[in-house]
Structure 1
Amino acid sequence: MDYTHLGRTGLSVSRLCLGTMNFGPETTEPDSHAIMDRAHEQGINFFDTANVYGWEKGEGITEQIIGRWFAQGGGRREKTVLATKLYGSMGDWPNETFLSALNIRRACDASLKRLQTDYIDLYQMHHVDRSTPWEEIWEAMEVLRQQGKILYVGSSNFAGWHIAQAQEAARARHFLGLVSEQSIYNLLTRWVELEVLPAVEHYGLGFIPWSPLHGGLLSGALRKEKEGGGSRSGKGRSSESLDEHRETIEAYEQLCADLGEDPAHVGLAWLLSRPGVTAPIIGPRTMEQLDGTLRALDIELSEETLARLDELFPPAGPNGAKPAPEAYAW
């Protein structure tokens, strides 16, 4: 396993991040525990979760599964760089959602209890809160850090200007501020290249792509469709997206076949080759899916292949692979 620093910090994390969103809804607790054990065996030390995962309001089912895994001992907690998130609703009463100082305090204590740990390595805001001033947010995070309950703070689904706003507010308080941003990023969704990635680079944040295979569309969706296998890409929003991009996905799968590689591995390898990317979040539902992803670490895409991928999946903006404003101006 390869490791890198999380942004400008000294924290070392694996180049793949284990996403746990399927633990509970899709993957049983015993299987989830086995997957986490295997991740450690493979050198993956970076785990991502959220208080809302499990999708039963207020329960934090996925955090509970991870907490019971930590409780087994054997260095499981010590070997893990643990990232979780707050923002989403954990109850029906006021102040059980968003980023007020009150909810930050309560949400953190609740996550710690479910996770059966006394600290969170990376505490992430799942979404920007447009109604709470940064002075309040940062003061609450500073208190948690002083108490030893969190070590670092990250963001998720922030626009570039939100990152700048957050960092300048932190700078005024002489606080470390954000150390990472987590956004959707894959061959089909490249909007972050316009302003988010430039902001991340400027402020020294690590970048953690979620949905690296676009809900399974980039994992061989058409091949699985022909084989009659079940796939997330055949459901709901992913199904509509598959119909929209069918011709492109067909060409992509043919390119991967010509390379002799699995489409899922090529999609992850492309992300790993992108400047500023720390660790794509992989969300295995099975042990086989986890084991297969390691191949992506060994794939080196040629300039010719990268150029072909840009042809199939053009960068956002009419002017090619350029950040804003050059992407749409001069």
Structure 2
Amino acid sequence: MEYVNLGRSAQVVSRLCLGTLNFGVRTTKSDSFRIMDTALDRGINFLDTANDYGWQVHRGFTEELLGEWFQLGDRRRDRMVLGTKVFNPMSDWPNDRGLSARNIISSCEQSLRRLRTDWIDLYQMHHVDPTATWDEVWQAMEVLTSQGKIRYVGSSNFPAWNLAAAQEAAIRRSYLGIVSEQCSYNLVTRHIEAELLPAANAYGVGVVAWSPLHGGLLSGALRKLSQGTAVKSAQGRAMETLPKVRKAVHEFEGRCGELGIPPADVALHWVLTRPGVTAAAIGPRTLDHLEDATRALHLDLPADLMREISEIFDSH
């Protein structure tokens, strides 16, 4: 496994980040535990969740599941860099959401209880809250840092100008501020290349790319649809986007066929080789999905081939 610093921090993470959105919902608890154990065995030390994950059962369900897994011992918690998030509603009450100081601190304490841990390595703001000033946000994060409840702060789904505003406010307070930004990035979704990636690079913010396969669209969706084997790639953002990029996806799958490499491996490898990308957040539903993702780490594809793959989607 390859490890890198998370942004300008000294914290070291694996280049694959294990996302937990499916755990306990689309993947059974026992299979989720097996995936996490296998990820540790493969050297993956970066685990990502959010306080509202598992909402299909109840908000906080996924954090509770992770807390159970940590309790199995073998230094599972100590070996993992744990990230969770705050922002999304946790109830119908108006203060149980957003980035108020009240909710940031309260949500952190609730996450710690569900996760059965004393600290969160990466506490991420899930979205921008236009009603919260950055002084209020950073005051709350400073409290949690001083109490030892969080180690670093990250963001997710932030536009470049919000990232810059947040970081400038942190600098004024002599606070470390944001060390990572988690955002959607893949061969189809490229908007972060214009402003966010340059801003993140300028401020020393690591970029963690979520949905590197665009919800399964880049995992051989056309072939799977024709064979009747599509699961995730036959729903959600993959099916919403496919009509717009069908020609490019067809060409991409054909090129991967010529190379003899699964499209998912090529698409994930492309993300991991992009300048400024620290890690890719994967969301395996099965052990096979995890094994496929780790295989992409070991590909050695020439730069001119990666440019050719990029160009397939440049004009979609």
TM-score by length of 2: 0.97
Pair 1:176-2:140 in alignment: no
Point out the more displaced range, 170-179 or 302-311.
Answer: 302-311
Name 1:64's counterpart in structure 2. 64
Give the CA deviation at 1:58: 5.8
- CA-atom RMSD in angstroms: 1.3
Q: Tell me which amino acid in the other structure corresponds to 2:229.
A: G
Report SS of the residue matched to 1:279: strand
Q: Secondary structure at the match of 1:47?
A: strand
Output the CA distance in 1 between the equivalents of 2:24 and 2:315: 35
| 1:101 aligned onto 2:101 | yes
Is contact 2:99-2:137 (8 Å) kept? yes
SS of match in other structure, 1:187: coil
1:23 aligns with 2:17: no
1:324 corresponds to: none
Q: Distance in 2 between matches of 1:221 and 1:134?
A: 42
How far apart are residue 292 of structure 1 and its match?
Answer: 1.4
Letter in 2 for 1:135: D
Unaligned 5+ residue runs, structure 2? none
* 1:195 and 2:195 are equivalent in the alignment: yes
For residues 104-253 of structure 1, what are the structure 2 equivalents within 5 Å? 104-253=104-253
Query: Structure 1 residues 192 and 120 mapped into 2: Cα distance closer, same or farther (>3 Å)?
Result: same
Q: Mark the runs of 5 or more structure 1 residues left unpaired by the alignment.
A: 317-330
Q: After superposing the two structures, state which structure 1 stretch, 37-46 or 256-265, moved more.
A: 256-265
2: distance between equivalents of 1:258 and 1:41?
32
**Alpha-carbon deviation of 1:230?**
2.9
> Residue type matched to 2:114 in 1?
R
CA contact (8 A) 1:57 1:90 kept: no
Is 2:40 the partner of 1:40? yes
Matched residues in 1 for 2:315 and 2:75: separation? 43
Size of the aligned set, in residue pairs, is 316
Structure 1 Cα separation of the partners of residues 46 and 92 of structure 2: 32
Question: How far did residue 304 of structure 1 move?
Answer: 2.7
Distance 1:122 1:309 in 2: 33
Q: Structure 2 vs 1, CA of residues 296 and 164 (structure 1 numbering), >3 Å: closer, same or farther? A: same
SS in 1 for 2:121: strand
1: CA distance between counterparts of 2:297 and 2:222?
24
**SS in structure 2 at match of 1:216:** coil
Letter in 1 for 2:111: S
- For residues 240 and 58 of structure 2, what CA distance do their matches in structure 1 show? 31
1:307: Cα distance to partner? 2.3
Alpha-carbon separation, structure 1, partners of 2:240 and 2:110: 37
How far did residue 223 of structure 1 move?
1.2
Tell me by how many angstroms 1:311 deviates: 1.8
- Please state whether the residue corresponding to 2:208 is helix, strand or coil: strand
